[in-house]
Amino acid sequence: METQQEITSMPRIGDKAPEFKAVTTQGNIHFPNDYKGDWVILFSHPADFTPVCTSEFMTFATMEEKFLKANCKLVGLSIDGLYSHIAWLRSIKDKIEYRGMKNVEVKFPLIEDITMEVAKKYGMIQPNEDSTKAVRAVFFVDPKGIIRAIIYYPLSLGRNFDELYRVIIALQAADAFGVATPADWEPGDDVIIGPAGSCGSAEDRMQGKEDMDCKDWYFCTRKLDKDVVLKKVLKK
């Protein structure tokens, strides 16, 4: 008999994304091996034919091209079966209209996980929330298969997809330019420069000897143009 700890264990930021093979609505996948060189958002939803999940899938599907241009592929998961997935996605395309979105076709893979094997590997089953449905987990996996960010939502709360896109852009900007991004950062906003490593470099900062704006030795920003960020991050 499995313990609660086994069910709720989850990988951490900086860990290698747990490997699995699965059947999806777009064929078989081997994760994360099939996605080397790409960023991936792996996300779970509680169940097919549920309204919050439907609104989320329509939003993700509508934004898929935007994510692809940001070098990011989408992979969904629920613990329902493949035929349920197919029927639900067909229903979304044929019958559902939401916020001006209609005739929405979900083209990214949706994983069948009846045995909950993948959901358990990623800690998507939270027994105090629901022991038979996956919560709304989001894993951001980089091109090397490393988990770089994790966001969890309860069953009742739909995700903010603009924020998921912002995270993908910010992670890539941080890698590309060796910076950190402050609260509510968007491309074009100032970025954060890491704290000085010595008294000498801290003094240089405060005397304006480096190309940055320092309010104190530990809080320094510099400008990073939106076009520079997007040129580096987005595909042409």
Cite the annotated binding site by residue number: 136
53 tagged catalytic: yes
**Secondary element (H or E) of residue 166:** helix 161-177
CA-to-CA separations, 140 to 30, 103, 151, in angstroms, rounded: 17, 28, 9
Binding site listing for substrate: 136
- Measured between alpha carbons, how far is 8 from 23 in angstroms, rounded to an integer? 23
String of DSSP letters for 74-102? EEEEESS-HHHHHHHHHHHHHH-EETTEE
Residue 63: Cβ-neighbour burial (10 angstroms; 0-12, 13-18, 19+)? middle
Catalytic residue among 53, 72, 214, 220: 53
Looking at the annotation, which residues are catalytic? 53
